[in-house]
Amino acid sequence: MRLFTQESLERLRSRVDLIDVLSSHMELKRSGSAYKGLCPFHDEKTPSFIVQKGERHYHCFGCGEHGDAIKFLMTYLNLGFQESVESLAERFHVHLDCVEAKDQYTGPSKAAMKEAMEIASCFFHFILLHTQEGHEALHYLYSRGVCLEFIKQFRLGLAPKVSGMLHKVLHEKKIGDDVMRGCGLLTRSDSGKTREFFSDRITFPIYHPSGSVIGFSARKYREETFGGKYVNTPETPLFKKSRVLFGLNHCRRRIVKERRVIIVEGQIDALRLIYEGFNFVVAAQGTAFGIEHAAELAGMGVNLIYLAFDSDDAGREAAAKVGDLFQMRGIEVRIVSLPGGTDPDTFLMEKGPEAFQKLMEKGQGYLEFLVGHLSRGIAIDTPAGKNHLVKHVSEQLRKWEDPVMVHESLRKLARLLQVPEEYLGVGQEYLPNTLIRKSASVGFEEVDPEKILELDFLRWLIVVGSQEFVEIAQFNLHPGDLRHEGCRRLYQTYLTSLHNHLPSDLLSLIQTEEDQELVAELMSRKVNREKGKEQFAQSIQRILDRNWMEKREEIRRRIHSGQLSDEEALSLLKTFDELKRSKPEVNHGTASPVL
């Protein structure tokens, strides 16, 4: 990783036009000496995102988002710090000095490689539209329902069959072979000769979130072309397959706004959906949709995934694996069931966007899909078959991270397969107590989220009862930090009893029947002591996070109320920024306790 000097970063910040950067990603309107716009980080109808002309920072009075141009690219485009800095430096022609490092990258500059990729993209596009060789490829695309407008909008191209043409064009632009090899446009054959990487294939440019071309996905359109259906740019400093989602540059804004995304297998599928108005779609490069891809979308706030994979066995297997990556993070997944033998591209051409929208609305829940997928080839009408299926599915569910998602999915699995919940371990000790008691009638009792959160903390503290846990609790939470009245009283009683009473003795210290019921409820569930310290710290962190967010929201509400003077508003804004930079973390005993 490159380390930039502080002087370089300051020089960059002084040269960046923040209004120009923001205007590339959102609409800003002048209002006096300031510019306002709808915040890209949360839904709103009245603009609360403000930046002063000439200032280096923006601020949203709606959600509290605040930062400079580097922070904006990191947050909005989900870029790393280095990528954000390099993107701005390239845009505003700022030279960056780096701190010397032994492992510093010494190959061609990323700016030179991006220039080469941009020229290559334009070259391929020209070959497709304006040559005799391109005419055959155009005929193929037209037969697939891809029109000229579509081709121009997404800059589809053609890598010519005879190697050497692109090489010559790039040399004329003073771009050397080292740059071409660095960005994946040149490679060496088995005989050691240099040749162009792409040949006799239709090309689809792959874009960096900032808008520059970083790679290509190339599809063969003739059976005699050597190799598989798709060939992608190899791993380069620009193109990291595990991090690239095809189509994201076209769809990022809507995905962030609506917090949902369609995932497809192929580039043509993604572009067809975008062309038809479903511009919240991405495709992985090839079939390897992995953890980093899922993390990328989760980091954008996505809470609903539609998987529209091919309806063959490979597509179903891919849907099961990709769906699991999101479900384990607590993100809902729905399966768009396409008719046999079709893919999204074919279906949209034959049936139209309205029919596809209906398929989405009828999307199958992931658990139902998983049970159906895994039950294929299993005689679930036999005890052994059902036992095998129950064990297989329940083991997968228990690996998910979100405890409520695990709990509810196990309950749903019990209903789907008509087995008692207790056989699946619903409510057993591997789950934190964020669970809701089942009522005597159908459905759940009305729940108090504060009580659920704080009982989880108290259960770890009182049931484990170790001196270490008591000290960690004292270092982080005062009784007044708890919101539920009964939990607050119970915590205070426990602390004042000198922290040496066994859980069974605690009932004798409780004065009211209500609090005795609370202790009984607390003791009714077991805890997994193997991960006790980690889970206990997490229960404290959730309370700290809740209180911190409530404090921020109260300050934000006061700032937004319109009842403060300018001086008072600026003072609170400063407090708000300080609070935002000081998100609490669990203190394991390295500072003074709060009690």
For the stretch 48-97, pLDDT in tens is 899 988 788 898 888 778 888 988 888 787 677 778 888 898 888 888 88
Phi first, then psi, for residue 31 (nearest 5°) are: -140, 90
**CA 352 to CA 86: how far, in whole Å?**
42
Cβ atoms 165, 115 nearer than 8 A: no
Burial class from Cβ neighbours inside 10 Å (0-12, 13-18, 19+) for residue 348 reads buried
Chain mean position to CA 2: 25
Cβ atoms 178, 170 nearer than 8 A: no
Cβ atoms 451, 571 nearer than 8 A: no
Region 331-356: mean pLDDT is 91
- According to DSSP, residue 461 is labeled I
Closest CA to 540 of 477, 448, 468: 477
Report helix, strand or coil for 557.
Answer: helix
Biggest distance spanned by C-alpha atoms of the chain: 92
In this model, does residue 484 exceed pLDDT 70? yes
Region 375-402: mean pLDDT is 83
Task: Establish how many alpha carbons lie within 13 A of residue 377's alpha carbon, considering only the half-sphere containing its beta carbon.
Answer: 3
* pLDDT of res. 172: 93
CA dist 511 to 465, 485, 493, 498, 515, Å? 21, 14, 10, 18, 7
* pLDDT of res. 438: 35
Region 188-211: mean pLDDT is 86
Burial class from Cβ neighbours inside 10 Å (0-12, 13-18, 19+) for residue 566 reads exposed
Q: Hey, what amino acid is at 11?
A: R
How many CB atoms are located within 10 Å of the residue 133 CB? 14
Phi first, then psi, for residue 205 (nearest 5°) are: -65, 140
In whole angstroms, how large is the CA radius of gyration of the chain?
29
* pLDDT of res. 432: 40
Cβ atoms 436, 452 nearer than 8 A: yes
Region 478-494: mean pLDDT is 89
- Partnered with residue 219 across adjacent β-strands are 202, 230
Three-state SS sequence of 210-247: CCCEEEEEEECCCCCCCCCCEEECCCCCCCCHHHCEEC
- Looking only at the bridges linking them, the beta strands covering 281-284 and 260-264 are parallel
Cβ atoms 208, 244 nearer than 8 A: no
Structure tokens at 444: 């759940």
Phi first, then psi, for residue 61 (nearest 5°) are: -80, -5
Is the model more confident about 79 or about 260?
260
CA dist 419 to 366, 407, 425, 435, 580, Å? 19, 15, 11, 20, 48
In this model, does residue 498 exceed pLDDT 80? no
Structure tokens at 67: 């930062």
The reported pTM is 0.62
Region 308-326: mean pLDDT is 88
The structure tokens 């632009």 sit at 173
- Looking only at the bridges linking them, the beta strands covering 304-307 and 213-219 are unpaired
Cβ atoms 311, 341 nearer than 8 A: yes
Cβ atoms 79, 73 nearer than 8 A: yes
Region 322-330: mean pLDDT is 90
Report helix, strand or coil for 93.
Answer: coil
**Percent of the chain with pLDDT strictly greater than 70:** 87
Helical (H) or strand (E) element with 66: strand 66-67
**CA 291 to CA 310: how far, in whole Å?**
21
Burial class from Cβ neighbours inside 10 Å (0-12, 13-18, 19+) for residue 26 reads middle
In this model, does residue 589 exceed pLDDT 80? no
**CA 388 to CA 375: how far, in whole Å?**
9
CA dist 280 to 73, 256, 263, 335, 410, Å? 20, 9, 9, 16, 31
Is the model more confident about 457 or about 527?
457
The structure tokens 């069959």 sit at 161
The structure tokens 């997404």 sit at 154
